[in-house]
Protein backbone atom coordinates (compact mmCIF):
# COMPACT_ATOMS: atom_id res chain seq x y z
CA UNK A 1 0.00 0.00 0.00
CA UNK A 2 1.42 3.36 -0.99
CA UNK A 3 -0.11 6.53 0.40
CA UNK A 4 0.69 10.20 0.27
CA UNK A 5 1.99 12.11 3.27
CA UNK A 6 -1.37 13.90 3.46
CA UNK A 7 -3.07 10.58 4.27
CA UNK A 8 -0.89 9.95 7.31
CA UNK A 9 -1.05 11.69 10.65
CA UNK A 10 0.83 10.36 13.65
CA UNK A 11 -1.43 10.68 16.69
CA UNK A 12 -0.08 11.73 20.07
CA UNK A 13 -1.01 8.32 21.53
CA UNK A 14 0.84 6.48 18.78
CA UNK A 15 3.95 8.62 19.21
CA UNK A 16 4.09 7.89 22.96
CA UNK A 17 3.84 4.10 22.64
CA UNK A 18 7.25 2.48 22.15
CA UNK A 19 7.62 -0.45 19.77
CA UNK A 20 10.73 -2.43 18.95
CA UNK A 21 11.33 -3.90 15.51
CA UNK A 22 13.99 -6.50 14.72
CA UNK A 23 15.86 -5.89 11.48
CA UNK A 24 17.86 -8.43 9.52
CA UNK A 25 20.54 -6.89 7.30
CA UNK A 26 20.45 -8.81 4.02
CA UNK A 27 22.43 -6.45 1.79
CA UNK A 28 25.10 -3.79 2.19
CA UNK A 29 27.79 -3.39 4.78
CA UNK A 30 26.97 -2.90 8.45
CA UNK A 31 28.76 -4.12 11.56
CA UNK A 32 25.75 -6.22 12.56
CA UNK A 33 23.62 -8.68 10.62
CA UNK A 34 20.65 -8.26 12.95
CA UNK A 35 19.57 -5.40 15.19
CA UNK A 36 16.66 -4.04 17.19
CA UNK A 37 15.25 -0.59 16.49
CA UNK A 38 12.94 1.28 18.86
CA UNK A 39 10.08 2.91 16.96
CA UNK A 40 9.38 5.58 15.94
CA UNK A 41 12.86 5.98 14.47
CA UNK A 42 14.69 8.15 11.99
CA UNK A 43 17.29 6.67 9.63
CA UNK A 44 19.93 8.87 8.06
CA UNK A 45 23.56 9.84 7.85
CA UNK A 46 23.30 12.66 10.40
CA UNK A 47 23.96 12.66 14.13
CA UNK A 48 20.26 13.06 14.98
CA UNK A 49 19.32 9.73 13.33
CA UNK A 50 18.26 6.81 15.52
CA UNK A 51 20.04 4.51 13.06
CA UNK A 52 23.02 6.06 11.29
CA UNK A 53 24.02 4.79 7.86
CA UNK A 54 27.29 6.43 6.83
CA UNK A 55 26.94 6.05 3.07
CA UNK A 56 27.00 8.76 0.36
CA UNK A 57 23.58 7.65 -1.01
CA UNK A 58 21.95 8.22 2.41
CA UNK A 59 20.63 11.70 3.26
CA UNK A 60 21.30 13.38 6.61
CA UNK A 61 17.62 12.71 7.46
CA UNK A 62 16.58 10.00 5.01
CA UNK A 63 13.39 8.35 6.28
CA UNK A 64 11.21 7.71 9.32
CA UNK A 65 9.85 4.37 10.50
CA UNK A 66 6.57 4.97 12.30
CA UNK A 67 3.80 3.03 13.99
CA UNK A 68 0.10 3.50 13.26
CA UNK A 69 -2.03 1.03 15.19
CA UNK A 70 -0.65 -2.40 14.27
CA UNK A 71 1.04 -1.13 11.10
CA UNK A 72 4.65 -0.16 10.56
CA UNK A 73 5.03 2.68 8.08
CA UNK A 74 8.07 4.03 6.27
CA UNK A 75 8.07 7.69 5.22
CA UNK A 76 10.78 9.11 2.95
CA UNK A 77 11.90 12.58 4.04
CA UNK A 78 12.55 13.93 0.56
CA UNK A 79 15.82 12.07 0.06
CA UNK A 80 17.44 12.52 -3.32
CA UNK A 81 18.23 8.82 -3.78
CA UNK A 82 14.93 7.50 -2.43
CA UNK A 83 13.62 4.94 0.01
CA UNK A 84 12.47 1.59 -1.36
CA UNK A 85 10.07 -1.02 -0.01
CA UNK A 86 10.31 -4.24 -2.04
CA UNK A 87 12.17 -2.34 -4.79
CA UNK A 88 9.36 0.24 -5.16
CA UNK A 89 10.36 3.85 -4.48
CA UNK A 90 7.99 5.22 -1.86
CA UNK A 91 6.94 8.46 -0.23
CA UNK A 92 4.92 6.63 2.43
CA UNK A 93 4.23 2.90 2.57
CA UNK A 94 3.34 0.10 4.91
CA UNK A 95 6.29 -2.15 5.77
CA UNK A 96 5.05 -5.63 6.61
CA UNK A 97 7.09 -8.44 8.18
CA UNK A 98 9.28 -10.15 5.60
CA UNK A 99 9.29 -7.19 3.21
CA UNK A 100 12.51 -5.46 2.20
CA UNK A 101 13.52 -1.87 2.96
CA UNK A 102 16.45 -0.40 1.02
CA UNK A 103 18.19 2.82 2.04
CA UNK A 104 21.39 3.68 0.21
CA UNK A 105 23.24 0.38 -0.25
CA UNK A 106 21.71 -1.33 2.82
CA UNK A 107 18.70 -3.65 2.61
CA UNK A 108 16.78 -4.72 5.72
CA UNK A 109 14.06 -7.29 6.28
CA UNK A 110 11.53 -6.72 9.07
CA UNK A 111 11.35 -9.67 11.47
CA UNK A 112 8.44 -10.44 13.77
CA UNK A 113 8.72 -13.21 16.35
pTM of the model: 0.81
User: Which residues sit opposite 24 in a β-bridge?
Assistant: 34, 109
Compute the distance between CA of residue 50 and CA of residue 37 in angstroms, rounded to an integer: 8
Compute the distance between CA of residue 75 and CA of residue 90 in angstroms, rounded to an integer: 7
Instruction: Give the number of residues written for the chain.
Output: 113
Q: Mean pLDDT, to the nearest integer, of 17-31?
A: 83
pLDDT tens-digit map of 7-19: 434 444 444 445 8
Domains, the chain, with CATH or none:
19-111 (2.60.200.20)
Compute the distance between CA of residue 98 and CA of residue 27 in angstroms, rounded to an integer: 14
Please choose, from the candidates 16, 17, 8, the residue with its C-alpha nearest in 3D space to the C-alpha of residue 93: 8
Q: Check whether 24 has a pLDDT greater than 50.
A: yes
pLDDT tens-digit map of 28-65: 877 779 999 999 999 999 999 999 999 999 999 999 99
Residue 82: per-residue pLDDT? 98
Residue 18: per-residue pLDDT? 55
Amino acid sequence: MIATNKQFTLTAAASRKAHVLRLEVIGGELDSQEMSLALPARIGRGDSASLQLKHPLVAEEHCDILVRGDEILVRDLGSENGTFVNRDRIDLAQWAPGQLLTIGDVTFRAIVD
